[in-house]
Amino acid sequence: MKIAELYNRKTTLSFEIFPPKKDSELKNIDATLEILCELKPDFISVTFGAGGSANCNRTIEVARKIKQKYHVEPVVHLTCLSYSKGEIDEFTRILKSEGIDNILALRGDRNPEVLEKDDFHHASDLIAYLRENGDFCILGACYPECHPESESRISEMRHLKQKTDAGAEVLISQLFFDNQYFYRMAEDCRIAGIDVPVIPGIMPVINAAQIKRMITMCGASFPERFEKIICKYENRKEALFDAGMSYALSQIIDLLTSDISGIHLYTMNNPVVAGRICEGIRNII
């Protein structure tokens, strides 16, 4: 099923997971998936490690499990900087043979250790290529606080519009902790004539070290209210968990009452986190 069709009918709840780093850990993912899938998300997206066929294989393997064993729709992430058109063709051929219809098409982060090839320079190149050469529902990424490499909000929107013009039917956002950034970006999208569903990505805090790492990597800012939580509870694991959950729930409820099309939860493969969020919005979404 192509997940863009869902947005005509309902407000969606989706999860993001990452494949295990080692093949030997593939079995353990079942325990996580079992609980996540019982929560009945509309889809689960599986991240893609940049470079190397082992990474792609694990992404496909987990997506296959999600579809065939748990009967939930998978979305496969796919980056393009380090791949040729031929390699992308091979990847999409496998996806089709597995009955996987949805791809989150990304450029990928630049990594000096991974060779970049010449076929794709931006996510919009990959999106256009997938649109011309396959029958997939294509999703793209967007950034409430702008991508770290962007010159301005205007150039960011110009490039985002290129993605939707090239064929992205849904946009999923980078994590953020201040909803005002998301609302501002959604408004920018309307002004730029981007009229596909724009889905906020929410990451509940589960531990302070991890969140600080994410912030350095993705550039999301801490609002004061959120910083106070980290400062007060960073050394009290259970308290941080409770306060972080409440914070994420308050973000989600604010978004849901502002007529967004869905919520995408960065689960960090933690089913307890996903379960707590689902419990908190069971009668709302």
What count of other Cβ atoms lies within 10 Å of the Cβ of residue 114? Answer: 16
User: One-letter amino acid identity for 97?
Assistant: S
Q: Which of residues 156-175 bind ligand FAD (CB under 6 A)?
A: 156, 159, 162, 172, 174
Dig out the tokens for 96 from the structure.
Answer: 């089709």
Among 5, 25, 34, 109, binds ligand FAD (CB under 6 A): 109
Between 108 and 271, CB nearer to ligand FAD: 108
**154 vs 229: CA distance, rounded Å:** 33
Between 198 and 206, CB nearer to ligand FAD: 198
Q: Which of residues 121-140 bind ligand FAD (CB under 6 A)?
A: 122-124
Task: State the nearest-atom distance from the C-beta of 185 to ligand FAD, in Å.
Answer: 12
Between 2 and 122, CB nearer to ligand FAD: 122
Among 41, 74, 144, 201, binds ligand FAD (CB under 6 A): 201
Inter-helix orientation angle 53-68/85-97, to 10°: 20
Dig out the tokens for 39 from the structure.
Answer: 């929560």
Distances (CA, A) of 223 to 93, 146, 177: 44, 16, 7
Active-site residue flag, 16? yes
Look at residues 55, 98, 54 and name the one whose alpha carbon lies nearest to residue 77: 55
Residue ranges binding ligand FAD (CB under 6 A): 47-48, 50, 77, 79, 104, 106-109, 122-124, 141, 147, 149-150, 155-156, 159, 162, 172, 174, 201
Question: Catalytic residue numbers?
Answer: 16
